[in-house]
Amino acid sequence: MKKIIFSTAVIISVLIGCKTNSTSNDSKKLVITFEPKSNSNVSGTATFIEKNGKVSFVAKLAGLEPGVHAIHIHEKSDCSAADGSSAGGHWNPTFKKHGKWGVGEHHKGDIGNFTADASGNGTITLTTDEWDMGSGDPTKDILGKGLIVHKGTDDFVSQPSGDAGARVACSAIIR
């Protein structure tokens, strides 16, 4: 009888342990580092956290010219070109027009604008269920894409990219 009770206790412990481990896997985190492009001195990091079907994004940048700058997800995780052009165009897996995030039609990569203060530091945040990390769904999976910071402002109108100017920082969204 003791043997059965011991075995039952072990089985329950294993099941509880498996349950605990599976919930910790529901959250994914990725931190990436920007490299300067187009002879800029821009640096910073971006953090992506996927939890409960949503991705939260925070980019913190330094070395920017004070003012408004655009940031977008681009097609490729290639930052090898000095001007960042190797990252390709905006990530647009659903073939929409360029626009403002959350207002009508927009690319999945159209994150938007943020402001750098007088010291050249800026932060932007976004939370969405339109992205994920590692599902393989070509319309949602941001892994294998590039993250680009532009010198200027996205006008949310000009096609296909918002006329945001030179690419001053790039990072590959890879593990």
Short-list 88, 162, 101, 153, CA closest to 130: 101
Q: What's this model's pTM, rounded to 2 decimal places? A: 0.84
Q: What percent of the chain is modeled with pLDDT above 90?
A: 82
CATH superfamily membership of 28-173: Superoxide dismutase, copper/zinc binding domain (2.60.40.200)
pLDDT tens string 98-132: 999 989 899 999 999 999 999 999 999 999 999 99
According to the model, what pLDDT value does residue 25 have? Answer: 57
| C-alpha distance from residue 19 to each of 5, 111, 160 (Å) | 21, 36, 46
**Which residue has better confidence, 123 or 23?**
123
**pLDDT mean over 63-86:** 98
